[in-house]
């Protein structure tokens, strides 16, 4: 599925690993935009509840002294 197909159907490119979690190098950050790191998500879900969840995980995790590069994303199949 291409980015255009995703966007034309009301979906957005949801990142499995967020771009802001890979800022320690330019190469690592650019890899977050590969299609293999993208999961089509309904636009309102991606910018709504999913975004809120990522924010809360990020805020809570930072208080534990946990390094941001640790995996915090569950993958369900």
| Active site residues per annotation | 15
Q: What is the phi/psi pair of residue 64, to 5°?
A: -90, 0
Contact at 8 Å (CB) between 28 and 63?
no
Whole-angstrom distance, CA of residue 43 vs CA of residue 55: 17
Contact at 8 Å (CB) between 70 and 38?
no
């Amino acid at each position: 599925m291409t980015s255009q197909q995703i966007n034309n159907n009301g979906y957005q490119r949801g990142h499995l690993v967020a771009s802001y979690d890979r800022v320690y190098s330019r190469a690592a950050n650019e890899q977050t935009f590969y299609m293999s790191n993208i999961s089509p998500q309904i636009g309102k879900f991606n910018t709504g509840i999913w975004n809120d969840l990522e924010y809360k995980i990020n805020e809570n995790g930072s208080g534990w002294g946990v390094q941001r590069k640790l995996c915090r994303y569950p993958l369900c199949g």
